[in-house]
Amino acid sequence: MPVVLKLSGIEQVYGTGEASVRALRGIDLDVEQGDYVAIMGPSGSGKSTLMNLLGCLDVASSGSYELAGTDVSSLTERELARVRNEEIGFVFQSFNLVPRMSALANVELPLIYGGLRRAERRRLALEALELVGLSDRADHQPQELSGGQQQRVAIARALVTSPTLVLADEPTGNLDSESTEEILSILDSLASAGRTIVIITHEENVAERAHRVLTISDGLITADRALAGAR
């Protein structure tokens, strides 16, 4: 499979002089299309820093990051915004849905900037909601949905643009075990369908559903193991 994420010698330094922190100290990583990768590591190890770089929310101090063949460090702010909108589907621990707006309208949001007609946006959003088993909740607002349902809407929103990468930060961190299982089985089916997924998690039972688990400690990748689900 082609490599869709390629990090070489990535370093991230916060601050300057004596107060500076080297949050990432040389990350080399290739992720192939269709890979399902979990990133684990203790607090302060650099997970969020790495996540922000992968999601093009921040640019590394040094090293290179290619997303689907494009060197991200050469992009302007405006181009980065396009990449975040079209190439990356974000799923957050706290769902981040827009309140008082229907599930359907929430899922349509990433398509607003794409110049699609309204009917086409609607069709794609309904398709994404169907994928997460929530067609029958399209008209419901977030506050009328359970946590697990809200996270499924957030996954539909992440998928609606057919992004290169689905990037999830502790997606089950606010969910009970039943809703966690729902989310994990949706991620399983996305992985089977060939989506590229990177998930950050503290939970071993969540990480072991991935096909590959990276451990990061003190700004370096210290372990990289393939699991049974890997192709």
Output 108 or 170, the one with its CB closest to ligand ADP: 170
- Tell me the window of 13-21, 63-71, 168-176, 207-215 that interacts with ligand ADP (CB under 6 A): 13-21
Output 29 or 190, the one with its CB closest to ligand ADP: 29
Which positions from 179 through 218 interact with ligand ADP, judged by CB under 6 A?
none
Output 9 or 44, the one with its CB closest to ligand ADP: 44
Which own/partner pairs from 25-30 qualify as long-range (CB within 8 Å, at least 24 positions apart)?
Answer: 25/218, 25/219, 25/220, 26/63, 26/219, 26/220, 27/63, 27/219, 27/220, 27/221, 28/221, 29/5, 29/214, 29/221, 30/3, 30/5, 30/6
Among 35, 37, 46, 160, binds ligand ADP (CB under 6 A): 46
Contact in structure between 72 and 79 (CB atoms under 8 Å): no
Among 29, 31, 45, 89, binds ligand ADP (CB under 6 A): 45
- Tell me the window of 14-22, 75-83, 126-134, 139-147 that interacts with ligand ADP (CB under 6 A): 14-22
**Euclidean distance between CA atoms 133 and 11, whole angstroms:** 40
Contact in structure between 28 and 60 (CB atoms under 8 Å): no
Binding pattern for the stretch 43-62 against Mg ion, x by CB under 5 A and - elsewhere? ----xx--------------
**Euclidean distance between CA atoms 128 and 135, whole angstroms:** 9
Give the residues lining the site for ligand ADP (CB under 6 A).
Answer: 14-15, 21, 23, 41, 43-49
Give the residues lining the site for Mg ion (CB under 5 A).
Answer: 47-48
